[in-house]
Structure 1
């Protein structure tokens, strides 16, 4: 099961490296990772998504809580889904003249922004939950996706 873990940490050098090393030492793969300051510039929020069963993720959370500079650890996945997630993706898609209108209609349906154009491609910015992003990627595949850059999930409790 995919888990979304929110970790509040002291905003200091080396904290992220210790978190990543803890996952690596236990042979857990990080599916996505996002880090930024909170409203308090001395604290950062690290959002990690990782696949594991309840027991494995509980072990990870116990180990995270032991790390220096970790303030709080919450697995949003186990709090009855009462959280909001978003991620952003930039998608560069091949856009020959004959396909541009259809790509632009698809972008409109998903409320995507066209952030760059060239003779050969369109670059779209899409924000939403993982299902929305996966859906637009699937619809754009037949046109030829040239590049993708995903931010990884960010999450907050409601």
Structure 2
């Protein structure tokens, strides 16, 4: 597959999924993964809401480097379709929070998800809105043996 075909496959995997697997690391280097519901508008920034006191949220607050996998679990064995990302994460505040809420709410009705309001993701509420900005994108090359190739979204 050429680069544009790989990008199209990767975008299709992202578009078909509601959840990503978020990899974080705590201050001692202990890894942790969590599935989170996500939204993206551009395949470069990924948004999710989580409780501020969850392990992955606490990890992100101390170490913003993230790994992300979005995959199609319905394909046949050894026919994997997945997107792998390295990213920098952050809790959104100020104008970024308002813009993030707009992105997050974009597909809400079509997905059967309640729309967020600012009061849902600022103190004293338990939840916060987070964004991961992708640094690198990879997908599996179907012509290679477990070969991850970079792509441009």
Superposition TM-score, scaled by structure 2 size: 0.30
Give the structure with the larger helix fraction. Answer: 1
| TM norm structure 1 | 0.30
Decide which structure has greater strand share.
1
